[in-house]
Amino acid sequence: MKTRQELSNGENIIDTIEISTPLGPMLAGATSQGVCILEFINRVKLEKEILDLQKLLNAVMLPGNNPHLDQLANELTEYFEGSRKVFSVPLHIPGNEFSQAVWKILQEIPYGQTCSYKQQADKMNNPKAIRAIATTNGRNRLAIIVPCHRVIGSDGKMIGYAAGVEKKKWLLKFERSHSEIPADSLF
């Protein structure tokens, strides 16, 4: 691991911290532009996500803090207290045009609600792209903030969450319990 003094010219820094949550620790990282990663430590293929992100941003991840991480930590605390429904922390989400469109739709799914991959595809006016959309959802590096946990199968099944289906169920049930939607209508 490089130190800040060993960075080569042009290399950027992703400051990282670990944030404790009721579902376990999360890795959070931010550039000067905004939060670029928030993942559960036990996420499937986390190491690959980190390498891909570093390559996309020509950056190295180093322990450290910045104002975006401070804001993120506060907003996550509020989220897990049930008082925050929408995040306002600046985000730095590198990706192609299709990926950006998929992640934008995810951010439009209201707190406490779900949609299917098919509904997500329909909303993007691309009904044949269900598999590509599901794959792109899986490459989302901003758990909870870009709420891919709110996407379920058309049959209502809890599928496709890299941090584990149990975490997905917990997050959905938690959100329902802090919204106007009855918690028992989830499953």
Q: Is 107 found in the same domain as 54?
A: no
Read off the pTM.
0.90
Strands (E) across 41-173 are located at 59-63, 115-116, 151-152
Residue where a domain stops, chosen among 81, 113, 133: 81
The reply to whether 89 falls in a domain is: no
Q: Is 104 found in the same domain as 163?
A: yes
Strands (E) across 48-125 are located at 59-63, 115-116
Residue where a domain stops, chosen among 81, 110, 135: 81
Q: Is 107 found in the same domain as 39?
A: no
The reply to whether 150 falls in a domain is: yes
Question: Which pLDDT score is estimated for 5?
Answer: 55
The count of residues in the chain is 187
CATH code of the domain in which 31 resides? 3.30.160
C-beta of residue 61 within 8 angstroms of C-beta of residue 29: yes
Average pLDDT, integer, range 19-46: 96
63-70: long-range contacts (C-beta < 8 A, 24 or more apart)? 63/15, 63/16, 63/17, 64/4, 64/13, 64/15, 64/16, 64/17, 65/15, 65/17, 66/15, 66/30, 66/32, 68/30, 68/31, 68/34, 68/35, 69/15, 69/17, 69/28, 69/29, 69/30, 69/35
pLDDT band for position 185 (50/70/90)?
very low
Nearest to 86 by CA among 150, 42, 37, 159: 150
The reply to whether 91 falls in a domain is: no
Q: Is 71 found in the same domain as 21?
A: yes
The structural domain count of the chain equals 2
Catalytic choice (93, 144, 146, 148) = 148
Domain that holds residue 54: 4-81
Q: Is 120 found in the same domain as 73?
A: no
Average pLDDT, integer, range 156-174: 90
CATH code of the domain in which 169 resides? 1.10.10.10
Residue-wise pLDDT for 62-75, tens only, equals: 999 999 999 999 99
What is the C-alpha separation between 184 and 51, in angstroms, rounded?
40
Q: Is 101 found in the same domain as 177?
A: yes
Nearest to 137 by CA among 100, 166, 108: 100
Residue where a domain stops, chosen among 56, 81, 106: 81
Q: Is 36 a catalytic residue?
A: no
